[in-house]
Amino acid sequence: MISKGKLAQIHIAKAQLGLSDEDYRAILARTAGVSSAKDLTNRTVGGVMHEFRRLGFEPKPAKKAGRKAPRTPRSRQNVMAKIEAMLTHAQRPWAYADSMAKRMFNVERVDWLDDDQLHRLMTGLIIDAKRQGRYPDDLA
């Protein structure tokens, strides 16, 4: 038996392709030898999904898990905006900045840092960006 997520994806593909119940069951029988998606196994579900993709199904990318950007007072919004921009450019979630705060200052979240710690965290992100070649030296 397959997971609920895979079962849901199969039904989403059926709906997106506009398949009738007869066509849908014919695809299941032809690709996996079953008449119901509930009878699919982890081995056979790949063939069914491959067939749906061949027919034009385009799965939507999963949303990235993570938390929302922290809400901060106006006095810190410029620094937080810079941190958010650097995280976005590096394709990293807020959890990355939270882990830096934990490692650097033993504080669980970026929101809870004082002004000095926040500036030092931003400096750490700038250093990381320079190491990765994402931050030009003439802006520093």
Q: What is the pLDDT of residues 116-125, one digit of tens each?
A: 999 999 999 9
Q: In the predicted model, what is the mean pLDDT of residues 24-46?
A: 90
Whether the CB-CB separation of 125 and 87 falls below 8 Å is answered with yes
Backbone angles phi, psi at 67, to 5 degrees: -100, 165
CA 138 to chain centre: 32
- Longest C-alpha distance within the chain, in Å? 65
For 73, the 3-state DSSP assignment is: coil
Q: Which of 63, 62, 60, 59 is nearest to 50 (CA)?
A: 59
How does pLDDT run across 79-135, given as a tens digit for each residue?
999 999 999 988 899 999 999 999 999 999 998 999 999 999 999 999 988 988 877
